Amino acid sequence: MGNDGGSIPRRSEMVREKPKDEKADRKNQLIAMYYHCALSKRPLEAPVVGDGLGHLYNREAVLEYLLGKNTFGDGAQVCQHIRSLRDIKTLTAKDNPAYEKSKKSTAILSFDQQPVAPFVCPVTGKEMNGNAPFEFLWSCGCVFSAQARKEISSGLCVVCSEPFKSNDVVPINSQDPEVLSLLKKEVDARKQAEKTKRKHKKDDKSKHKPKQKRKREDTSSEPVRLPLSHSATNAEEKHTKAQRTAA
């Protein structure tokens, strides 16, 4: 710069763009989220569950977390919105036949080669590996690619044909801040609806609770004869014998 023989850099040259390595790292992290439990970081294995934010877990890991919140180091951060089994949904995902074969294979993957995904879309056959968006329905738990739902827009689940509402659709591992914000609002709405439902159920149960039956009153007009003591019994027997003798 100045008189040292150098050149003054332009502003555009001073502004750094995000390195390609950083973008590649985020992509790898996203892919890993489709292969591993968000809580235990172990490979996903059936039964797999999802939360209202679209994160995937092994059901066993969630049960361990609910029994002991300190079981996993980052459990409180990852699952702070999961307080009971009502906050997760057991998913029905189609197994990828090629996945089991790949587990038995001893071949070494190249740096740019992606491992075989454990699940596939039952409609399009695409692997659930992070390269294409996938979704599940909170109403039934079925998992499929976003493309399948858009192609068959009938208002019925593309897997089990059960009807669903638009707010039942949960994008899996979405990185869009706006989508995540909407999902959080939907999570809160479900919790409030569940709370209201339990309250109404409790109120209805108390209304229909049978009243305790009153003890049946003795309507007999006959006097109640109390048991006599031993001495009184002897006196009565003597009086009866005396009456018979006099007769």
pLDDT of residue 101: 83
Across the strands, what pairs with 111?
none
pTM score, whole prediction: 0.71
pLDDT > 60? residue 229? no
pLDDT of residue 114: 83
pLDDT of residue 171: 97
Question: Of 192 and 221, which is predicted with more confidence?
Answer: 192
Pick from 13-22, 111-120, 175-184, 237-246 the range whose average pLDDT is largest: 175-184
pLDDT > 90? residue 211? no
Question: Of 122 and 76, which is predicted with more confidence?
Answer: 122
pLDDT of residue 41: 94
Q: Which two tokens stand for residue 176?
A: 């869009």
Return d(Cα 134, Cα 93) in angstroms, integer: 11
The mean pLDDT of 32-44, rounded to a whole number, is 94
Return d(Cα 157, Cα 227) in angstroms, integer: 78
pLDDT of residue 139: 95
- DSSP-assigned states of every residue in 62-82: HHHHHH-TTSSTTHHHHSTT-
The mean pLDDT of 104-128, rounded to a whole number, is 81
Helix (H, G, I), strand (E, B) or coil at 84: coil
pLDDT tens-digit readout, 81-91: 999 999 999 99
Return d(Cα 244, Cα 240) in angstroms, integer: 6
pLDDT > 80? residue 142? yes
pLDDT tens-digit readout, 144-157: 999 999 888 788 99
pLDDT of residue 195: 85
Element (H, E) at 89: strand 88-90
Return d(Cα 65, Cα 82) in angstroms, integer: 9
From the list 129, 149, 147, the residue with the least C-alpha distance to 139 is 149
- DSSP-assigned states of every residue in 119-169: EE-TTT--B-SSSS-EEEETTT-BEEEHHHHHHS-SSB-TTT--B--GGGE
End-to-end CA distance of the chain: 152
Q: Give yes or no for a contact between 55 and 170, defined as CB atoms under 8 angstroms apart.
A: no
Within the chain, how many helices (H) and strands (E) appear? 8, 8
pLDDT of residue 43: 93
pLDDT of residue 108: 60
